[in-house]
């Protein structure tokens, strides 16, 4: 019993020592692995020869463009407001999305009251005309008798005054009827343009409010994008320039338009000028409210360019760099880029004319790697 109790602590101590040695060994191994992995890539695999494809840095024409975004809006946009307040809407003849022609009747208000007043006005005018005709007849008869000395001047003057008053009453009745007809016309809302019904805000049965529209009509045969031209681009922008428009609603399709409007002055707050790109819409594929990406080419100039495939970006920062071949080795060059085209990109700083930029295999090299330029592009 005493021997076992004496050897127990010794055995536990021995186990702890062994465990400590094992832990220390594992930590040392892990440290060595981390230290090896943390070595700069330039110090590894420099003896490996990497096949690469190159393209020469060259001079080429680059196109400076204004790129912006905006919403498509119709060329003509009309809201039909009632001119008569508090009248019930009797009928709306078009639904949303339906085409409408210029002059077409779109909304009719309840006109029963004004129609009754029109009947009264027409009857009053008719009575006034009959009365005037009778008095004119009497006037002519008395004028004939007066010339024959058969009637007194006083009687002739009286009938002439009555005839003149009758003519005035006819004119008054005509004016009253015309005013009522104009009021009645306001009960019929007609489209001032040809287009489509974009919105119907009120349905039959509602009462009119002169501050609220009933229908919105848009002409979408031509749409426009209103955009801002920065001060640095204003000197190159001209009306008549062509612009390209891409839409999220039509991926892969490009629409061409023309800059038709350009403000002659800049807003001093934003240092920009308003412009409009007009887009024909023959197949009605474009709709107002769509989001547009606009590109307007401004000018073309010669610049130093490199193949787009040669540009590599540093993870995290996005800093661009290019590998070039110098004396059989890859050399890393930090670059500053300018305008990007479809197949190449302008190099503002970092490369020289005729530098051999690696366009294939650049992801397999580091600065100082040995390379072999092959005729075909390496994968």
Instruction: State the residue for tokens 């360019």.
Output: 305
Question: Residue 19 — pLDDT band, cuts 50, 70, 90?
Answer: low
212-224 burial, b at 16+ Cβ within 10 Å, e below that, comes to ebbbbbbbbbbbb
Percent of the chain predicted with pLDDT > 90: 77
The mean predicted confidence, pLDDT, of the chain is 88
Q: How far is it, in rounded angstroms, from Cα 114 to Cα 265?
A: 51
Whether 22 has a pLDDT exceeding 70, the answer reads no
pLDDT (tens digit per residue) in 314-338 = 998 999 999 999 999 999 999 999 9
| Burial environment of residue 209 by CB neighbours within 10 A (0 to 12, 13 to 18, 19 or more) | middle
Contact present, 233 and 66 (Cβ < 8 Å): yes
192 backbone dihedrals φ, ψ, rounded to 5°: -80, -10
Q: What is the largest CA-CA distance in the chain?
A: 175
Q: Which domains does the chain have, with CATH numbers?
A: 41-61+302-373 (2.40.420.20), 67-73+219-301 (2.40.30.170), 82-106+190-213 (no CATH), 111-186 (1.10.287)
Residue 144: its pLDDT value, please?
87
Residue 18: its pLDDT value, please?
52
pLDDT (tens digit per residue) in 35-54 = 433 444 444 456 789 999 99
Residue 12: its pLDDT value, please?
54
20 sits in the region (left: phi over 0; alpha: psi -120 to 50; else beta) called: alpha
pLDDT (tens digit per residue) in 157-205 = 898 999 999 999 999 999 999 999 999 999 999 999 999 999 999 999 9
Q: What is the pTM of this model?
A: 0.64
């Amino acid at each position: 019993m005493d021997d076992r109790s004496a050897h127990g602590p010794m055995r536990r101590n021995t186990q702890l020592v062994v465990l400590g040695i094992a832990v220390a060994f594992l930590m040392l191994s892990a440290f060595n692995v981390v230290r090896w992995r943390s070595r700069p890539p330039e110090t590894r695999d420099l003896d490996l020869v990497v096949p690469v494809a190159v393209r020469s840095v060259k001079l080429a024409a680059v196109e400076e463009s204004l790129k912006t975004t905006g919403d498509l809006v119709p060329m003509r946009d009309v809201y039909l407001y009632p001119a008569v307040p508090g009248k019930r809407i009797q009928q709306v003849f078009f639904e949303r999305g339906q085409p409408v022609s210029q002059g077409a009747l779109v909304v009719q208000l309840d006109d029963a009251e004004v129609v009754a007043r029109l009947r009264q006005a027409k009857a009053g005018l008719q009575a006034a005309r009959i009365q005037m005709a009778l008095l004119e007849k009497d006037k002519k008869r008395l004028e004939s008798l007066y010339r024959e000395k058969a009637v007194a001047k006083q009687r002739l003057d009286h009938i002439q005054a009555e005839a003149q008053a009758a003519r005035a009453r006819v004119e008054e009745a005509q004016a009253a009827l015309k005013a009522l007809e104009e009021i009645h016309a306001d009960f019929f809302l007609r489209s001032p343009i040809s287009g489509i019904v974009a919105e119907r805000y009120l349905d039959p049965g509602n009462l009119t409010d002169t501050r609220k529209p009933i229908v919105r009509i848009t002409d979408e045969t031509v749409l426009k994008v209103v955009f801002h031209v920065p001060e640095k681009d204003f000197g190159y922008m001209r009306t008549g320039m062509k612009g390209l428009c891409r839409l999220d609603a039509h991926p892969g399709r490009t629409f061409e338009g023309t800059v038709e409007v350009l403000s002659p002055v800049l807003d001093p707050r934003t240092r920009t000028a308003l412009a409009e790109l007009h887009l024909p819409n023959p197949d009605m594929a474009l709709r107002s409210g769509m989001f547009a990406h606009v590109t307007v080419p401004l000018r073309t100039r010669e610049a130093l360019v490199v193949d787009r495939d040669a540009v590599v970006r540093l993870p995290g920062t996005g800093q661009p760099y290019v590998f070039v071949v110098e004396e059989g080795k890859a050399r890393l060059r930090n670059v500053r880029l300018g305008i990007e085209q479809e197949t190449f990109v302008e190099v503002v700083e970092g490369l020289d004319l005729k530098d051999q930029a690696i366009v294939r295999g650049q992801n397999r090299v580091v600065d100082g790697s040995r390379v072999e330029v092959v005729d075909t592009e390496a994968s």
